[in-house]
Amino acid sequence: RSAAIVARATDSAESSLAEAGQGLALLAGLEGDTSSARGLELRESLLSIVASASFDVGDYAGALKGFEEIAALRSQRLGPKHSGIASSLANLATIQYKMGKVDDANATLSHAKELLGSPDASKSVLARCLNLQGLILNRLGNAEEAASTYREAISVQIEVYGDAHRMVWSSKNNLANVLVELEQWDEAMALQEAQITWATKSIGKDSAQAITAYINLANTLSIGGETEEEFLRATELIEQVLPLMKLDDRRRINVYSVLGQTTFRLAKSRESVDAYNQALEVAAQTENVRGSLVAYLYSRRAESYWQAGDKKRALKDAEQAAKRYRTMPEKAEALKELEDWVAERR
């Protein structure tokens, strides 16, 4: 176990897995009662290393098996209703979510929250469960419930860490994203403005957190804004980010997409087309870009072409977007909106 811990501390997940596996084999071969409290605790510790290291190397199935056994062992050692089981369930839910088992993850977190109802339960584990459940609820399409859960997470996090902690602001960022989906523009923008202030003062104006905050606010202004002043503010934010070409490709796609939307709202159709051209160019050179994102970019460029008076290119882009959406059953609503848009213009 000690060798596995050392290996994990030095970021060697493979060595950590090997050492922990050897420890489990030795433990299984011991004579005597390995189901004693000490035996269970030692096995749990080794399994925790195995599960975490498996997660690090992308072996989610191995991690899932490990965390399931840890939760069972902890229940056996502490009792089935002990709040100490909740942290194991939080780990288990994280793996389930990563594996796409969203309903299972939501049920696991609900169980964890039940165990965390006692006065002596860990508030930090509760905050973690709430934040993850907010993410899952939003993924399940329950945006209103997700927003409520994020608010609860933020309240608990402030109690545990103080209102300037990164985890608090991460949850506030998640809440703002949900509020954008709910079209609660004013509160979303206020949270994102505050995020910029926090990130630039606490970490630095060129930090990843600040850049994300600039992009998020610009996106919200470009979608939910109503005045020229708001659209110009969005453009200004993007101009602050564009020189930072250390951005990863997906973020560059996002930046150009937001710039395309903002210039479209300002009726600068040619600039909007250019921005979407750059977004699509980066997407074409980037591995594993979601087809839905490419379809979205084509649909947005179609609108910009139409605004510019280039109807032929607009309809061609709309067909490119529709062709991709037709392969995605979950995008049926987006496809219907696009087909209606085309029908109105033919």
pLDDT at 206: 81
Q: What is d(CA 311, CA 293) in angstroms, rounded to the nearest whole number?
A: 22
What per-residue confidence (pLDDT) applies to 54?
83
Residue 52 carries which side chain, given as an amino acid letter?
Answer: S
CA distance 155 to 168: 9
pLDDT at site 112: 92
Q: Residue 263: which residues within 8 A CB-CB, separation 6 or more?
A: 235, 269, 271, 272, 275
For the cut 90, the answer to whether the pLDDT of residue 234 exceeds it is: yes
The pLDDT tens digits of the residues spanning 181-229 come to 999 999 999 999 999 999 998 888 888 888 889 999 999 999 999 999 9
**For position 51, what pLDDT does the model report?**
81
The predicted-structure confidence for 42-76, as pLDDT tens digits, reads as follows: 777 888 878 887 888 888 888 899 889 888 888 88
* 51 CB-near residues (< 8 Å, 6+ apart): 62, 63, 65, 66, 67, 70, 91, 95
Q: What gap in Å lies between CA 246 and CA 122, rounded to an integer? A: 39
Q: What is the mean pLDDT of residues 241-255?
A: 79
Kindly tell me if the per-residue pLDDT of 31 is higher than 60. Answer: no
Using 50, 70 and 90 to split pLDDT, how confident is the model at 2? Answer: low
- How far apart, in whole angstroms, are the C-alpha atoms of residue 24 and residue 43? 7
Q: pTM here? A: 0.77
Which tens digits make up the pLDDT trace of 99-136? Answer: 989 999 999 999 999 988 877 788 999 999 999 999 99
| 105-143 residues labelled b (16+ CB within 10 A) or e (exposed) | bbebbebbbebbeeeebbeebbbbbbbbbbbbbbeeebb
The DSSP code sequence of 90-124 is HHHHHHHHHTT-HHHHHHHHHHHHHHTTSTTS-HH
